[in-house]
Amino acid sequence: KAGVTQTPRYLIKTRGQQVTLSCSPISGHRSVSWYQQTPGQGLQFLFEYFSETQRNKGNFPGRFSGRQFSNSRSEMNVSTLELGDSALYLCASSGAAGNTDTQYFGPGTRLTVL
């Protein structure tokens, strides 16, 4: 079974631009969560989607948004990029919502904002 895939793997943008990151979950998984990882901060929760509905949202500004499609693929968008948005963005999928299911992580998208 193919794992979680994320595209692109690396991205360089400049301040003020916007970016869209994509996550394809494991086949059959309906829950997708997004995390931001910066040095010293650990994994910060961004969003959780299940069956196209946002179930939970982390404490991030409105510039961060996301969505999930009917095939469970998910995208997150960051508008008006700031230097502090430079980070590794990870998505994880699981079979069900509720968080007792194991989450399977993708390889991440490394975003650099110049």
Partner 1 sequence: ILNVEQSPQSLHVQEGDSTNFTCSFPSSNFYALHWYRWETAKSPEALFVMTLNGDEKKKGRISATLNTKEGYSYLYIKGSQPEDSATYLCACNQAGTALIFGKGTTLSVSS
Binding interface with partner 1 (CB under 8 A): 3-4, 33, 35, 40-45, 48, 55-56, 58-59, 90, 92, 98-108
**CA atoms of 41 and 97, how far apart (whole Å):** 25
Please, which residue, 52 or 101, has the CB nearer to partner 1?
A: 101
Nearest distance from C-beta of residue 43 to partner 1, angstroms: 4
Please, which residue, 13 or 58, has the CB nearer to partner 1?
A: 58
Break the chain down into helix, strand, coil percent, rounded to 5.
5, 55, 45
Nearest distance from C-beta of residue 65 to partner 1, angstroms: 16
Please, which residue, 20 or 44, has the CB nearer to partner 1?
A: 44
Phi and psi, residue 113, nearest 5°? -110, 120
